[in-house]
Amino acid sequence: MERLIMGMEREEMEVRAEVDRLSAGTEMQELAGELCEGIDNICGGFHYYKDENVLGRAKDLAGKISQFCSYFLQGNIFGLEDAEYMDFQTYILGVLEDYMEAIRQQDMVYMLDTLDYGLRELLDIYIGKEPEETRNGL
């Protein structure tokens, strides 16, 4: 009887872990969608409407960018090989460093590049669009 109860408890824990994983995936998908929309607005606004408030609008996304990127740095959630995961972490940290450097330098072009060609590559994990479909809000 005790084995049966322990087995049921273990199964319940596995189900809860799977629900948590799926919930995190849904939350990340929503967050990725919000960030993608923000990037589309920033990049599209600059390219099509000459809106030069790129840095201010990019700073408004800082919390969401931090939340999104930190999720990937908490552990190897995709089960990558160690070397691949290290490369993935390096890429994420590079995107964050570019974001901070663009703000420090007050460089709109650097920020546009970081958002559209750096961060968007990470967003595409959850958005599921081909990179050409997402560039500049197209």
More confident residue, 50 or 109: 109
67-73: average pLDDT: 93
- Here the tokens at position 85 are 């995961």
Mean pLDDT is lowest, of 10-14, 17-21, 102-106, for 17-21
Q: Which residues contact 38 (CB under 8 A, 6 or more apart)?
A: 57, 60, 61, 64
Check whether 137 has a pLDDT greater than 60.
no
Q: 3-state SS string over 55-120?
A: HHHHHHCHHHHHHHHHHHHCCCCCCCCHHHHHHHHHHHHHHHHHHHHHHHHCCHHHHHHHHHHHHH
Q: What is the pTM of this model?
A: 0.74
pLDDT at res. 47: 82
Tokens 């201010």 found at:
56
Q: What is the pLDDT of residue 103?
A: 96
